Amino acid sequence: MTAAVRLRSRHLLGISDLDPSEIELILDTAVAMKEIGTRTIKKVPALRGRTVVNLFFEASTRTRLSFELAEKRLSADTMGITAAASSVIKGETLADTVRTLEAMSPDIIVLRHPSSGAPHLLSTFCHSGIVNAGDGMHEHPTQALLDALTIRERKGRLAGLKVAIVGDLMHSRVLRSNVLLLTKMGVEVRVCGPRTLMPLGLSALGVHVTYSLDEAVKDADVVMMLRLQHERMNGMFLPSLREYFTLFGLTRERLKHAAPDVIVMHPGPMNRGVEIDSVVADGPRSVILDQVANGVAVRMAVLYLLAGEDVTP
Ligand code: CP
């Protein structure tokens, strides 16, 4: 693999567009960015004079705040708007909203949107670089990158690891981005969830599909739990949350079948007692807050690689 020195695209729309060397480049850059967060003055001038717009049309705590912090640590000028506080509620379209923002000459637009493909649509006419901060049920590339950084930090590598991803797979953009990234990097991925929440065609992506949590967790180096995405469900997918926890909830007992040094991950927000027991979420194998910390470093890396001073236009 030839080492990438820059990203080929001026957008980050999905993991599907990145090759393994670009993924390594982002992770290595994130390691350097993480060091900045340990300094007394947590700020560098890498994006001085650049303007970043955060456009969040869906609720977010981790992604939105970590993008904002990443931008501040890189000295970018930032603006942010949510759907509820914008003229979207007066009927303005996404395209018109973005054309309006582009008239103010931003360099990067970070977009979270409930429609799959919204960032791709913007990339067809925007002059700014577009960063996908989660689009519908499609992709959440910076989440997968921060997950990969967390795994690499803890395990020293990605290739050859066994990663189990468990939960509501049908509605999860985190699943999709993680499967794409981890399989590109040589990870053995098992996915597990109820049949009613299992999307078609997952096996074609090179993952092992199982409906048994014990099978998914057996000897796993990493167990990644995903939330039930009630906001994307139309109708009944499960008999009850109690039955879901019994069959698919991660407890200390079930985690005993994993590798002894297993790490437990969750992108958040968590539903304690639904997909994960609090004893596990807050336990010694959990790296959930490391994921949050690494979110800032990864987003600094992405913004720097897309809009940093030494990037050739
Ligand atoms: N993991 C994640 O995307 O969390 P938020 O919805 O809080 O941003």
Q: Would you call 112 a catalytic residue per the annotation?
A: yes
Task: For a ligand 1 pocket test, name from 54, 55, 63, 290 the mutation site with the most ligand atoms within 8 angstroms of its C-beta.
Answer: 63
Reported confidence tier of residue 67, pLDDT bands at 50, 70, 90: very high
Given 2, 8, 40, 90, which residue is catalytic?
Answer: 90
The 10 Å Cβ neighbour count of residue 100 is 12
Nearest CA to ligand 1 atom 6: 60
**Index of the ligand 1 atom closest to the CA of residue 295:** 1
Query: For 10-43, how does the pLDDT look when each residue is reduced to its tens digit (9 = 90+)?
Result: 999 999 999 999 999 999 999 999 999 999 999 9
Single pTM value for the model: 0.95
Nearest CA to ligand 1 atom 5: 60
Cis before 269 (ω within 30): yes
Q: Would you call 140 a catalytic residue per the annotation?
A: yes
Report the separation in Å between the CA atom of 122 and the middle of ligand 1, taken as the mean of its atom positions: 21
Is residue 81 within a helix (H) or strand (E), and if so which, with residue range? strand 77-82
**Index of the ligand 1 atom closest to the CA of residue 63:** 8
The residues pairing with 305 across neighbouring beta strands, listed in sequence order, are none
Reported confidence tier of residue 309, pLDDT bands at 50, 70, 90: low
The reported pLDDT for the residue numbered 229 is: 80
Identify the residue whose tokens are 């923002």.
Answer: 101
**Index of the ligand 1 atom closest to the CA of residue 64:** 8
Per the rule left: phi > 0, alpha: psi between -120 and 50, beta: everything else, 195 is: alpha
Mean pLDDT across the stretch 135-162?
98
First-to-final CA distance of the chain:
25
Contact 193, 211 (CB under 8 A): yes
Q: Mean pLDDT for the chain?
A: 94
Query: For 178-205, how does the pLDDT look when each residue is reduced to its tens digit (9 = 90+)?
Result: 999 999 999 999 999 999 999 988 999 9
Using alpha carbons, select from 225, 82, 221 the residue that is nearest to residue 165. 225
Given 112, 152, 162, 173, which residue is catalytic?
Answer: 112
Ligand 1 pocket, 114 CB below 6 A? no
Give the burial class of 293: count Cβ atoms within 10 A of its Cβ; 0-12 exposed, 13-18 middle, 19 or more buried: middle
Given 29, 63, 78, 142, which residue is catalytic?
Answer: 63
**Index of the ligand 1 atom closest to the CA of residue 112:** 8
Nearest CA to ligand 1 atom 3: 63
Indicate the range of 79-93, 131-145, 156-170 predicted with least confidence: 79-93
Is residue 109 within a helix (H) or strand (E), and if so which, with residue range? strand 108-113
The reported pLDDT for the residue numbered 234 is: 66
